[in-house]
Chains A and B, each alone.
Chain A
Amino acid sequence: MKRSFYYIVAVLLLAPSVMLAQQQDSTQSDVQDDLEEALEVFDPENSGEDAEQLTQLLQELAANPVNLNTARINALLQVPGLNFKTARAIIDYRSSVKPFETVNELQEVSGIGRVTLEKVRPYVTPGRGLELSKTLFTDYRYWTADGRFQAFSRYQQDIQEAEGYKKHPDEGGYVGTRIKYYQRFGYQSDHISLNLTQEKDPGEQLESPVKFDHRSWHIALEDNGNLQMLVGGDYSLAFGQGLVLWSGAAFGKGSDVIGAVNRNGRGIKPYTSAQETNFYRGGAVTYGGKLQLTGFYSNRRRSASVISEDTTRYPGTDGYKRTANEFRKEDNLGQKLFGGHIQMELPFGIIGATGYQTTFDHVIAASERIYAQYDFEGRSNSAFGVDYTFLLGSALVFGEAARSENGGLGYITGIESEIGKDTEMTLAYRHYQKDFQSILGNGFGEISGQPKNEQGIYLGLQHAIGENITLFAYMDQFRFPGARFGTNQPTQGYEWLGKANVEMSSDLNFYLQFRSEIEDDEFEITDRYGRKQRKLGSSRRSTYRAHLEYRVNPKVRLRSRGELVQSKKAGESLERGYLIYQDIRLQLRENLQLDARISMFDTESFSSRVYQFENDLLYVFASQALFDRGQRMYALLNYEPFEYLELWAKFGVTVYENKQVVGSGLNQIEGDTRSEIGIQARISF
C-alpha cells in the first residue's frame, strides 16, 4: 500500500516535465458531472444495479453522440436535457433555417438557452458534414459506417480478505475467489450491433474461461429505414413514463430539476450491461415511421427464494451465486413475457400505448408483512397503459395512465414550461394506488422501482441570472396511502433542494447546495412495563454542500468540497456527519490522465453517512457511502498508448480510525483498512 503512494508522489513530481499537449477531456468530465447530479445519493448497496446501467448509458451516448443533422425525434429525445418541444424545434431549425455546423448553434433554436446547451453538449454532434446518405443495403459500407469493434477486459479486487473467503463453502462461505472479472466484445456501427458481455462477481466461481456466471449477448439491427430496431438476445424495454414497462436506468430527483420527471421512453435497447437481472431475453422489434409498432417476446430464468415446491417469492435483483444457499435458487424460476407498444407521432405530440402479459412457472407469493399486503401474487400478471406528450403553446404536457391486471391504477402527468426567458418550470402530479401491481414498471417517485402506493406533487424551478448564475430548486411532497417498507401505517413527507451555481469565469465554478427530506417513520419504544410499542415520528436528513472547481490551466483541474449532513431518525436525536475532500486531475500528456483525491469523513453513525461520487474505470459506477471516522484516498490513471488501446488503473484505500472490523457478515474485514484495485483495458478499432 505504501509503495503505491510513493508511485503517486513520483508521478506528481514528474508532472511538469511531461506536460506537453493542450488536450483536455472536458466531455468525460461533463458526463461525470451529469452522473454525479443524477446519482449522488444513490446508495451503492441498494441501487448499484440501476446506477451502473445509467453510467453506461450516458458514457455510451457521449462516445456515440446523437447527430443533430440526421437524428430522428426518438433519438433526440434520448439526450438528457432535451424534450419533445426542443427536439422538434431542432428538427424544424435544421430543415427550415440551415443544418447545424457547431453544437453552439443550438442556442439559436427556440427554447434552448445556456443551461440546456451545457446539459446537452456532451451528447450531441453536428456530424461530419456529408454523410453517406444514399448508400444501399447491398453495399457493405452501409453496414459498416461508423463501425467500431471494442473489447473490454476488467479486473477488480479487494485487497483485504473478507470473512466469506475464510469460511469453507460447506459452512456457508463463498465458493469462488475475490476477483471480479468482466469482459465484453462488441461491434457497433450506425446500423448493426453485436455484443457479448461476461462477468464473474467476487465470491463466484469461474469454472472455465468460457463458463462465466453472467453472460449477456445480442445481435441487433438499428435504424434501417422503417425497421427501427430488431434485436435477438438480450434487451431492455422502456416506454412512456415507465408506469408499465421500464427496465434499466432512469433519472430520479436530483439537482437537475427540469428533466427529472419527464421520461422519454427509450423503447427497445440492446443490452450490454453486467447487471444480471434487469433485462429480457428473446426477440424484439420496432417498425414504422410516424406510426411505430413494437413487439417483444422474452423467456428467461430467474432466481428466487423458495417457499414450497411450487411457490417462490418474487425474484431478486442481485444475481449473486456465491454461497451454497445462493446456488440452490439459481435459475429456479422461469418467466415469460410478451407484449407490445404502439406510438403515433402527431403534429402536436406523441401518443403511445403499452401492454404486456407475463407468466411464471411457479406461483409467486408475497411476504406476510403489512407493507406487502397489496403485492403481486400468482402465476401471471399483465398491465396496460397509455402515454402522451403534447405541445400546449410554449408548454409541454406529458403523462401516462396504467392499469394492472388486478384493477389497480397508476397515473402520472406533468407540465414543463418556460416562464419568461430565463426561468423554466416542471410541475408534476403522480398517483399510484396501493394495489397497482405494475411489477415491471419503474415510475418517477420517492421510492425508486415499481410504482405503487404513492401520491405526490413535484415542483421544479430553474432560473438563470445573467450569464453566470443559475439557481435550481425543487419541492416534492408525497404520501404513502398504505404501509411502505418498514412501516405499518400510512405515512407522508416532503423533500426540497436548493442549489446556486456560480460560473465566476470559464475556469472557475462554484456551487452551494442544500437538500432536506422530512418524512414519517416508525420507531420502537419500551414503556415502563417493559412492553415494546411502535410509534410514529418524523425523520429528517439534510445535506449542505459547498463545491469549488477550478481549471488552473489546460493541464490541471482542482476540486474542493465540504459537505455537512444532519440526520435525525424518528425517535432518536440529531446526528451530524461531514466530508471534506480535495481532488485533482492532471492531464500529464495528451494520452495520460491522473485523477486523485483525498477525503476526510467523520460521521456519528451510518445514518449520518456521506456520499461521494468517484471517477472510476470506464462504465464502472463508483459512489461511496462513507461513515464513521476516517480517510479515503484514490488514484485513477487513464492511459492511451495507441489509438486502439486504452488502459485504466485505479487504487483506492479507506482507513478508519475508530474501528477494528470493517463491514459485516460474510463481507466483514478484520482491521481498519479496506482497499481495492482495478485495471481495465479496451481495444477498439
Chain B
Amino acid sequence: MIQKLKIFNSKNILIAFICFLFIQSYGKQLKAQAVIGARELAMGQASTALQETSWSMFANPAMMSAEKPTASFFGVRYFGFSEITDMAVSVTYPTQLGVIGAAAHRYGFDLFNENRLRLGYKNEFMGFHYGVILNYSHVAQDIDNGSAGAIGVDVGVATPIASNLWIGAKATNVNHPSYGSRNNEKLPRDLSIGLSYYLSEVALFSADVYKDVQFPISYRGGIEVAIIGGLTGRAGITTSPQTFSAGIGYKGSFWSTNIAVQRHENQVLGYSPALDFKITW
C-alpha cells in the first residue's frame, strides 16, 4: 500500500498526465514506434533505404547488413523526461542461409511500458533484398494492472538501382495484430518507401515517404556528411509532425557511436537527446 502511494506521488502523476497529453495530441510519433538509432534519428528518421544502418531490425529488415555480425545499443530520452525513454538492443548475425537478427526494445516506465522482442531474417537474391520480422509486443499499465501482448509481422524489400542508389519499402504489422480480446486495440500499421543515395563517398542522402494508417502522410529526409577521419555530421527533418534533428557519429575500426538531438514542432517540449553504440566483429 505504501509502495502504491509512492508511485502516485505528484511528480509521477504529472508525468503520466503529460505523457497522456502527448500521446493524445501527437499520436504515434511520440510513442514507442518512433525510429530506433541515433544516426537514424539525426537523419530525419529516413531509414527505409538507409545504407549501412545497424538498426534495420527496427526499420527495414531487408537492409540488415550481411557483412559482419553486429551488436548495437540505443537510448533516447524524449524531451529529457526519464519516464518516456526508449532503450533498445539489436544483434544481427550473417549465416550462409541469410542474416538472422534478434532485438529488444523497452519504452516507458513502471506505470506504463511497452516491450518488444523481435526476431528477424533477411536474405538476398540477385540484387533483391528481402526481410521479415516477427515481433512480440507487450504493454503493461500499472494503474489497473492491465497487460496484453500481440505478435506482428513486418516485411521489407530493398534493392540497389545503381551501386550507390538504393530503393526500399517496408510495411509493419501486415497481419493486423491487436492487443487483447476486449477492446481489440490494433497495433499501428505503416508503409514507408525510401531512397538513399551515396554521393561519391562524401555525402549520403536519404528520403522516405512514411504513412501510418491512422495519421497523415509524413515526408522525411536526412543527410550525412563525412567531416574528418571517422567523424560524420548529420541533419534531418520530418513533416507531420515537423521535427528537426542533428547529430554526429564516430566510427572506429570495430566500434562506432552516434549521438543525436531532435527538436519537435512544439517548442515547449524542448530537445530529445539520443545515443547509440555499435560493435562489430
Contact = CB atoms under 8 A, between A and B. Distances in A.
Interface in A588-622: 598-600, 602
Pairs of residues from A and B, 5 with the lowest C-beta to C-beta distance, nearest first: A553-B126, A582-B169, A5-B175, A600-B211, A552-B128
Interface stretch (B65-73, B86-94, B155-163, B270-278): B155-163
Given A6-B175, A13-B121, A550-B161, A555 B213 contact: no
A293 interface: no
A558 B217 contact: no
B191 A12 contact: no
Interface in B236-254: none
19 contacts: A5-B174, A9-B155, A12-B130, A15-B130, A19-B125, A548-B167, A552-B126, A552-B128, A553-B126, A556-B159, A580-B211, A580-B217, A582-B169, A582-B193, A598-B191, A600-B217, A602-B216, A657-B213, A657-B214
Interface stretch (A218-226, A629-637, A659-667): A629-637
Given A2-B175, A552-B128, 7 more contacts: A2-B176, A2-B177, A552-B159, A558-B167, A580-B211, A582-B193, A631-B213
Nearest to A673: B176
Contacts of A13: 121, 132
B115 interface: no
A580 B125 contact: no
Contacts of A548: 167
A150 interface: no
B197 to A, nearest CB: 14
B54 interface: no
Interface in B161-195: 161, 167, 169, 171, 174-177, 189-191, 193
B127 interface: yes
Contacts of A5: 153, 174-176
A655 interface: yes
Most B Cβ at <10 Å: residue of A15, A553, A600, A657: A600
A677 interface: no
Interface of B: 121, 123, 125-128, 130, 132, 153, 155, 157, 159, 161, 167, 169, 171, 174-177, 189-191, 193, 209, 211, 213-214, 216-217
Nearest to A8: B174
Contact of A633 (B161, B174, B211, B217): B174
Interface string A2-18: 10011011001101100
Q: Chain B interface secondary structure, helix, strand, loop or mixed? A: strand
Contact of B167 (A550, A555, A556, A600): A550
Given A550-B159, A631-B189, A556 B132 contact: no
Interface of A: 1-2, 5-6, 8-9, 12-13, 15-16, 19, 508, 548, 550, 552-556, 558, 560, 562, 578, 580-582, 584, 598-600, 602, 629-631, 633, 655, 657
Nearest to B154: A9
B157 A584 contact: yes
Nearest to A556: B128
Given A578-B217, A580-B211, A657-B213, A553 B127 contact: yes
B148 to A, nearest CB: 16
Contacts of B155: 9, 12
Given A1-B176, A558-B167, A582-B169, A553 B161 contact: no
A556 B171 CA distance: 18
A560 B167 contact: yes
Contact of A555 (B123, B125, B216): B125
B98 to A, nearest CB: 8
Nearest to A4: B175
Contacts of B167: 548, 550, 558, 560
B153 A6 contact: yes
A556 B62 CA distance: 14
A635 to B, nearest CB: 10
Contact of B125 (A8, A556, A584, A630): A556
Contacts of B191: 580-582, 598-600, 631
Contacts of B177: 2
Contacts of B169: 558, 560, 582
A602 B175 CA distance: 20
A2 B152 CA distance: 10
B159 A12 contact: no
Nearest to A1: B176
A553 B124 CA distance: 11
A657 B178 CA distance: 13
Contacts, number: 92
Most A Cβ at <10 Å: residue of B153, B177, B211, B214: B211
Contacts of B127: 552-553
B193 A560 contact: yes
Nearest to A553: B126
A198 B159 CA distance: 45
Most A Cβ at <10 Å: residue of B123, B128, B174, B175: B128
Nearest to B216: A602
Contacts of A578: 217
Contacts of B176: 1-2, 5, 655
B192 to A, nearest CB: 9
Contacts of A629: 213-214
A553 B125 contact: yes
Contact of A16 (B125, B175, B217): B125
A581 to B, nearest CB: 8
A480 B263 CA distance: 55
Nearest to B213: A631
Contacts of B211: 580, 600, 602
A89 B177 CA distance: 60
Contacts of A560: 167, 169, 193
A248 B114 CA distance: 58
Nearest to A598: B171
A571 B274 CA distance: 50
Contacts of A552: 126-128, 159
A602 B216 CA distance: 8
A12 B161 contact: no
B132 A555 contact: no
A173 B189 CA distance: 36
Contacts of A508: 161
Given A508-B161, A580-B209, A553 B216 contact: no
Most B Cβ at <10 Å: residue of A550, A555, A631, A657: A631
Nearest to B134: A9
Contacts of B217: 578, 580, 600, 602
A74 B152 CA distance: 57
Contact of B157 (A19, A554, A558, A630): A558
Contacts of A554: 126
B29 to A, nearest CB: 16
B263 to A, nearest CB: 26
A166 B117 CA distance: 43
Contacts of B175: 2, 5-6, 9
Contacts of A1: 176
A578 B215 CA distance: 12
Nearest to A578: B217
A286 B171 CA distance: 56
A552 B190 CA distance: 24
Contacts of B132: 9, 12-13
A428 B265 CA distance: 53
A9 B216 CA distance: 27
A9 B128 CA distance: 16
Contacts of B174: 5, 8-9, 598, 633
A417 B169 CA distance: 43
Contacts of A553: 125-128
Nearest to B125: A16
A19 B127 CA distance: 13
A193 to B, nearest CB: 42
A306 B199 CA distance: 71
Nearest to B191: A600
Contacts of A556: 125-126, 128, 159
A554 B126 CA distance: 9
A365 B213 CA distance: 49
